Amino acid sequence: MKYSIVNGERSEAQPSLSGHCQTCGSPTIAKCGKVKIWHWAHRGKRMCDPWWENETEWHRNWKNCFPDNWQERIHTAESGEKHIADIKTIKDWVIEFQHSHLNPEERRARNDFYEKLAWVVDGTRRKRDKPKFWESLKEMATVTNTQSPVRRILKVLWNDCALFREWSGCPAPVFFDFGKEDPMLWCLLPQNSDRETYVLEFLRAGFITFHRNEIIEKDFFSDLIKNFRTTVAKLSSFSQE
C-alpha cells in the first residue's frame, strides 16, 4: 500500500515509520528497501483486502497521475464489504490498475462491486500479447474531431490474443497499456448485443485529463464511453448490411 494512517493522517512509507491500515485498522510497518518500491505492509499478517495486488512501479506511476486524495480510497458497499480502489475520482469512477493475471471469478466480483469502473491493464507482462493484439484488429473508422481523445475505432476480428480472450466479456471499459513510450492506450469497449468487440485508440494524456476534469456537473468520461458505444453499434449494423 502507498498509504497508512500515521498520527491520524494518511502517510507514505518512510524508513522506521509504523502506522495503521486505513481499511482494517491493524498495525502496519513501512517497508523501505532497495528492491521493491517503498510501501506499507500489515505487521505479521497478510493484506486484509484479498483483491490487493502487490504494487509495481507501473502501479505507482499510474496512481501518481491523479491527485493524492484520489489514490487508494476505501469503497464500502451497502453490505459493508470494503475494498481499496486504486483510484476513485470525484465523479465516482473507480480505476483499477491490473498487472498480474486475474482469475475470471475475481474479475466478475470486482466488476459487480464497483458501479463505475474502468480497468487499466498492463499489456507488457507477456511478450506475445502486443503482436497478437495487432494481428486481431481491423481499422473501421478515423475520428476527425480533434477535441476527442479517441483517434480511431478498430474491430476485433478474432480472439487469437490472450488479452481479448481474458477481457472481452468485461462489462466495464478496459484500457490496455503497452508501455509509457506509447502515447496511446487501447480501450476495449464492452461487447455489443451482437457480441462484437471494438477497440478505441485513445490518447493516454486524454484518459488522464478526462478523469481529472473537475467540472462537477458533467461526467465527461461517462458521456464519452456512452457516445462511442452508440457509434460502434451503428458501425456494426452498417457492416452487416
Binding region for Zn ion (CB under 5 A): 21, 23-24, 48
Residue 223: burial class (beta carbons within 10 Å; 0-12, 13-18, 19+):
exposed
CA distance linking residue 20 with residue 30, whole number of Å: 10
Q: How far is the CB of 90 from Zn ion (least distance, A)?
A: 25
Q: If you compute the radius of gyration of the chain from its CA atoms, what whole number of angstroms results?
A: 19
Nearer to Zn ion, 3 or 228 (CB): 3
Nearer to Zn ion, 21 or 161 (CB): 21
Helices 220-240 and 204-212 cross at an angle (nearest 10°) of 130
Q: How far is the CB of 83 from Zn ion (least distance, A)?
A: 11
Helix (H) or strand (E) holding 133: helix 129-135
Q: How far is the CB of 21 from Zn ion (least distance, A)?
A: 3
Is the C-alpha dihedral spanning 111, 112, 114, 115 positive or negative?
positive
Q: How far is the CB of 24 from Zn ion (least distance, A)?
A: 3
CA distance linking residue 59 with residue 69, whole number of Å: 16
Nearer to Zn ion, 86 or 166 (CB): 86
Nearer to Zn ion, 26 or 222 (CB): 26
